[in-house]
């Protein structure tokens, strides 16, 4: 699963990549600013959704800080489900309430330790995987429901009281005209008829031909 590291410090990027890479996370990308991260995330939504499943966002960055970057990322519908973990110095903890309000799900304090980073990253990636599975199930359910609705729309069902002659079995249609039974059913359903003669009728119509 893809992880994006957003930090203006090259040393911090190297540290995070080293810890994550040693733990087996090979799909890693880095950005040194919020604007660079926005390009990697395809913020405009014109390109296919990026293969990024977790963002590690530094809080203090020049031009645009991590909190505002988080807010802007979460405002995009195609990026809303990507978990964002804030990476912050202990002296910046006062910003965390604002970060959570912006959509962050967790935080890591500097100096970063491998145990804390890997534990929080694993939890966030597990959440993302579950959300992806849920969305896939919902999409499959939507497709199945659409197919069912389409099929039901193509099925014609005869309902209600149908006037039928007790003698000739013709049916009176909505215009008041009498129609042959098969003609009426053919117009009001998807049924097709294959004509034949049953044994009782053969015996009645052709007594000299029918053999007991």
For residue 32, give both structure tokens.
């040194």
Q: Phi first, then psi: give them for residue 194, nearest 5 degrees.
A: -115, 110
Q: Is the pLDDT of residue 206 over 80?
A: no
pLDDT digits (tens, 9 = 90+) for 75-114: 998 888 899 999 988 766 777 888 899 999 999 988 899 9
pLDDT digits (tens, 9 = 90+) for 124-161: 999 999 988 988 888 888 888 888 777 666 555 666 77
Residue 153: how many other CB atoms lie within 10 Å = 8
The secondary structure of 87-144 as a DSSP string is EEEGGGGGGHHHHHHHT--EEEEESP-HHHHHHHHHHHHHHHHHHHHHHHHHHHHHHH
| CB-CB contact of 110 with 143 (8 Å) | no
C-alpha closest to that of 86 among 112, 114, 53: 112
> What is the structure's pLDDT at 65?
92
Q: Which domains does the chain have, with CATH numbers?
A: 3-147 (3.40.50.2300), 158-212 (no CATH)
> What is the structure's pLDDT at 47?
64
Strands annotated E in the chain: 3-6, 28-31, 54-58, 84-89, 106-110, 171-172, 178-179
> What is the structure's pLDDT at 205?
76
At 145 the three-state DSSP class reads helix
Q: How much is the mean pLDDT over the chain?
A: 85
Confidence of residue 190 (pLDDT cuts 50, 70, 90): confident
DSSP β-bridge partners for residue 212: none
> What is the structure's pLDDT at 91?
65
Q: Is the pLDDT of residue 54 over 60?
A: yes
> What is the structure's pLDDT at 152?
64
């Amino acid at each position: 699963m893809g992880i994006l590291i957003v930090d203006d410090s090259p040393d911090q990027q190297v540290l995070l990549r080293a810890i994550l890479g040693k733990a087996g996370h090979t799909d890693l990308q880095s950005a040194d600013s919020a604007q660079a991260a926005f390009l990697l995330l395809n913020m405009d939504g014109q390109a296919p959704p990026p293969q990024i499943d977790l963002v590690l966002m530094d809080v203090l960055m020049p031009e645009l800080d991590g909190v505002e970057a988080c807010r802007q990322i979460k405002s995009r519908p195609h990026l809303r489900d990507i978990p964002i973990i804030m990476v912050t110095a202990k002296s910046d903890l006062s910003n965390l309430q604002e970060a959570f309000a912006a959509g962050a799900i967790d935080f890591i304090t500097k100096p970063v330790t491998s145990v804390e980073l890997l534990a929080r990253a694993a939890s966030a990636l597990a959440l993302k995987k579950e959300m992806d599975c849920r969305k896939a199930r919902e999409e499959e359910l939507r497709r199945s429901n659409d197919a069912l609705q389409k099929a039901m729309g193509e099925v014609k069902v005869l309902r209600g009281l149908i006037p039928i002659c007790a003698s000739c079995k013709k049916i009176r249609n909505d215009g008041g005209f009498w129609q042959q039974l098969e003609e009426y059913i053919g117009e009001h359903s998807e049924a097709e008829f294959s004509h034949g003669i049953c044994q009782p009728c053969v015996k009645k119509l052709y007594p000299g031909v029918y053999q007991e």
